[in-house]
A and B are shown apart, each in its own frame.
Chain A
Amino acid sequence: MDKKEKLLKEKLKVLEGFEDILDLLDEDTPLKKGAVTNDKLADNYQLYNFLENEIRRLSALVNFFTKKTDNLEHAQTEMLIDNQKIEIIQCKKVLINHLKQPNQPLRKRIEFIWDSAFSKGPKGPRLNEI
Chain B
Amino acid sequence: MKIPVFNEIILEGTSFDEIKKSLRKMHVGQGPTYLVMDEWQDEEFYDILSKLAQITNEMGYNVKLPFPFYIITSSIDYHPIFPVAKSVNDLPSHFRKKVKRLKSKEHSLLAKVEVLSEKLINMELAEKIKKHRDRSSLNKELYKLSSELNFYQFLEDEITKRNKDL
Report which A residues bind B (CB closer than 8 A): 43-44, 46-48, 50-55, 58-59, 61-62, 65-66, 69, 72, 75, 77-78, 80-81, 84-85, 87-88, 91-92, 94-95, 98-99, 103-104
Contact = CB atoms under 8 A, between A and B. Distances in A.
A54 B153 contact: no
Interface of B: 3-4, 65-66, 94, 97-100, 102-103, 105-106, 109-110, 112-113, 116-117, 119-120, 123, 125, 128, 131-132, 135, 138-139, 141-142, 145-146, 148-149, 152-153, 155-156, 159-160, 163, 166
A55 B109 CA distance: 8
Nearest to A98: B159
B142 A84 contact: yes
Contacts of A62: 116, 119-120
A95 B159 contact: yes
A15 B103 CA distance: 21
Contacts of B94: 50, 53
Contacts of A95: 152, 155-156, 159
Instruction: Provide the main secondary structure of the chain B interface.
Output: helix
Instruction: Provide the main secondary structure of the chain A interface.
Output: helix
Q: Which of A44, A50, A72, A87 has the most CB of B within 10 A?
A: A50
A61 to B, nearest CB: 6
